[in-house]
């Protein structure tokens, strides 16, 4: 049994509801058309998919917010959307899950949407509705004003969910980090791309091993010491206080200012790793909001991921499932 099991159990059972977490980042709507293919089109050599059903789910930063809301914390979401049908659908789903979304700033571009056409179990096509220009001008001012107000109202942690769609600019990230550092509010970042300088001063950054390799000049093998050295190098270079690397079948490593903690995977079976990163950063941000010690927060995040990877498709863990995993 984990040494601080009772402390984590009490937190999940009774204290999550008091935590306020703000998610800032690239919100998306994931849309699916499921069908069957029985013939080729006479108009062009392409399969005809007869649509049987459709589904819409929260994606990107909105999926991080979904994870948090399902665990029972007070969840706030900020980002940009367009004035279109996809925005309406996105906001309806956020409202259903009790996610506060007045931080979504409406811009002239589209609401980022990924539309997938599925024939049986095979993805046949994906259509992307998006505009990846950096948020700027009046829209950046509105976004930062909302973030400042949320911090003033007593947010306990901030998660930056960067999908390189234009919200997480250097200016926005640094505004958040400076404002949170002044109030001693932890900032946890899911990074994107090969330049981490815009995350300078962040408390936590949570790359997977592939993302860590993208910013290193030499390949980092999936070994404890190699991951530790690479993370320490990036910590110094970008003045980031802690780096937590998710390592697939090897669990995760938390490299802090004083020590490194390597937590082995707790998954018994792995079916699908999609969405596991959102789970890890959600639970980590939530635990830090509840003033759980970093190593314990990392253990809880790793435990939640072990449940999620055993499910097919993107999956958000519930509070009850996390409690059951703790009890095991």
Task: Provide DSSP, 164-223.
Answer: SSSSS-HHHHHHHHHHHHHHT--EEEE--SS--GGGTT-SEE--BHHHHHHT-SS---SS
Rounded to whole angstroms, how far apart are CA atoms 4 and 17?
20
Secondary structure class of 289 (helix, strand, coil): helix
Say yes or no to pLDDT of 173 above 70.
yes
Bridge partners of residue 196, in order along the sequence = none
128 annotated active-site: no
> In the predicted model, is pLDDT for residue 312 greater than 60?
no
Q: What is the mean pLDDT of residues 280-294?
A: 96
pLDDT of 14 > 60? The answer is yes
Q: What's the mean pLDDT when you consider all of the chain? A: 92
pLDDT at 244: 96
pLDDT at 235: 94
Q: Find the mean pLDDT for residues 2-15.
A: 85
Band (328; pLDDT cuts 50, 70, 90): confident
- The one catalytic residue among 30, 162, 190, 278: 278
Closest CA to 307 of 327, 287, 291: 327
3-class SS of residue 303:
helix
For the chain, give percent helix, strand, coil, nearest 5: 40, 30, 30
Q: Which of 132-136, 273-277, 323-327 has the lowest mean pLDDT?
A: 273-277
Give me the pLDDT at residue 272, please: 45
> Per-residue pLDDT for 25 more than 80?
yes
Q: What are phi and psi of 299, to 5 degrees?
A: -60, -45
Q: What is residue 6's predicted lDDT score, i.e. its pLDDT?
A: 84
pLDDT tens digit string along 203-243? 999 999 999 999 998 899 999 999 999 999 999 999 999 99
Question: What is the pLDDT at residue 270?
Answer: 54
> Looking at the domain 5-25+58-103+134-327, which fold is it?
3.40.1190
pTM above 0.85, yes or no: yes
In this prediction, residues 129-155 reach a mean pLDDT of: 96
Alpha carbon distance 316, 325 (integer Å) = 14
Reported as a pLDDT band with limits 50, 70 and 90, residue 311 is: low
Q: Is 7 helix (H, G, I), strand (E, B) or coil?
A: helix
pLDDT of residue 4: 80
* Alpha-carbon torsion angle 297, 277, 319, 327, nearest 10: -60
| Predicted pLDDT at 54 | 94
């Amino acid at each position: 049994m984990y040494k601080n099991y009772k402390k984590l159990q009490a937190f999940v059972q009774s204290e999550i509801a008091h935590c306020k977490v703000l998610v800032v980042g690239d919100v998306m709507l994931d849309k699916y058309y499921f069908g069957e293919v029985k013939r080729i089109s006479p108009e062009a050599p392409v399969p005809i998919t007869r649509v049987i059903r459709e589904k819409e789910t929260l994606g990107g930063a909105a999926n991080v917010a979904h994870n948090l809301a399902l665990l029972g914390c007070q969840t706030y979401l900020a980002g940009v959307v367009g004035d279109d049908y996809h925005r309406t659908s996105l906001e309806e789903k956020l409202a259903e899950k009790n996610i506060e979304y007045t931080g979504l700033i409406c811009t002239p571009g589209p609401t980022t949407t990924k539309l997938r056409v599925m024939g049986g179990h095979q993805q046949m096509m994906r259509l992307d509705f998006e505009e990846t220009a950096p948020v700027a001008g009046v829209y950046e001012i509105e976004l930062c004003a909302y973030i400042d107000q949320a911090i003033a109202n007593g947010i306990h942690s901030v998660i930056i969910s960067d999908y390189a769609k234009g919200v997480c600019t250097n200016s926005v990230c640094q505004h958040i980090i400076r404002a949170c550092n002044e109030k001693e509010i932890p900032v946890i970042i899911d990074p994107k791309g090969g330049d981490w300088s815009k995350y300078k001063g962040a408390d936590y950054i949570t790359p997977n091993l592939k993302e860590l390799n993208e910013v290193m000049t030499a390949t980092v093998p999936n070994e404890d010491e190699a991951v530790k050295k690479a993370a320490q190098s990036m910590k110094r270079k970008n003045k980031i206080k802690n780096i937590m690397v998710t390592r697939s079948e090897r669990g995760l490593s938390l490299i802090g200012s004083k020590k490194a903690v390597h937590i082995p995977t707790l998954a018994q079976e792995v079916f699908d790793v999609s969405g596991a990163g959102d789970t890890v950063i959600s639970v980590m941000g939530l635990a830090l909001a509840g003033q759980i010690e970093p190593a314990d927060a990392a253990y809880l995040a790793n435990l939640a991921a072990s449940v999620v990877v055993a499910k097919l498709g993107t999956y958000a863990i519930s509070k009850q499932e996390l409690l059951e995993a703790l009890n095991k």
